[in-house]
Chains A and B, each alone.
Chain A
């Protein structure tokens, strides 16, 4: 007996021409129902949303501000603001992207307060060419994990990303650490897609250059932290 033909979207509509389009659409993200319940006053639903995204929001804030206490305050403020503005969330973007956008704004505001004499924005220091042209061509062997223990590696990663300008650090955090798409990163930061790509390239190359000091093959043994 021949095996049945797999049902693609195309042949389903051929077979059942009147099939409603919404049956063929992707199922809604589970957050949509949680947000609707939270809007209707369901505290457990809002608490569930906090549980789902608190780690991501905290890490994003800490990467941008480089300060743990600030990140804690910002995380609380982000969820409180989200709660207050829940009615304004229209569902045009993912709920997580909406939260990240609030977190980025709050984090940059916190940096501005800290550096009262300097303007801190997504554009700060991004004109620098430092690190945008590779200079270090040493291979990383063995892999970074093999030369350092967890605590040493964490310190290297913290020190290295802290040296990036906030505009680069933020793009790298959202795109490469938190795994947002280029489009979601652009939306969260209010940047164009080409601007995100350009900053991401430079952020990656600068980090690579700085990490090469620790992980490059030319360093026999571990570099000093």
Chain B
């Protein structure tokens, strides 16, 4: 396995979706190629740093404002008042 072959398998390797024979080849390549070892390590850190450090905050004030606005729009459609009608309607069998 060379570096190009290794790169082609990188996504499957990260996602754990690689068959055992190929995994052995990947590990063998990683043991001998420092460049690919660095690529794996720094790509994993790339994923981790984005997963653990959300660059966009989501304050409670924004959450409340958006949720109230959505619920107002939903109620304005008149869809939910049907519940009251259904509740008052006799349930005949």
Contacts and interface: CB of A to CB of B under 8 A. Distances in A.
Interface of A: 40-43, 46-47, 50-51, 54-55, 58-59, 62-63, 68, 71-72, 75-76, 79-80, 83-84, 133-134, 137-140, 143-145, 150, 153-155, 157-158, 161, 172, 176-177, 179, 182, 197-198, 200-201, 204-205, 207-208, 211-212, 215
A208 B67 contact: no
A158 B55 contact: yes
A204 B12 contact: no
B70 A207 contact: no
Chain B interface main SS type: helix
A200 B73 contact: no
B55 A75 contact: no
Nearest to B34: A137
A188 B11 CA distance: 19
Interface in B40-66: 41-43, 45-47, 49-51, 53-56, 58, 62-63, 66
Given A58-B58, A212-B42, A215-B45, A161 B50 contact: yes
Contact of A62 (B10, B17, B42, B56): B56
Interface residues of B, number: 41
A72 B45 CA distance: 29
Contacts, number: 127
A51 to B, nearest CB: 7
13 contacts: A41-B86, A43-B74, A46-B71, A58-B66, A59-B58, A72-B62, A83-B73, A83-B77, A137-B39, A201-B10, A204-B10, A204-B47, A211-B46
B51 A177 contact: yes
B13 to A, nearest CB: 10
A144 B49 contact: yes
Interface of B: 7, 10-12, 14-15, 17, 34-35, 38-39, 41-43, 45-47, 49-51, 53-56, 58, 62-63, 66-67, 69-71, 73-75, 77, 79-80, 82-83, 86
Contact of A43 (B10, B38, B66, B71): B71
Contacts of B43: 204-205, 208
B11 A134 contact: no
A75 B66 contact: yes
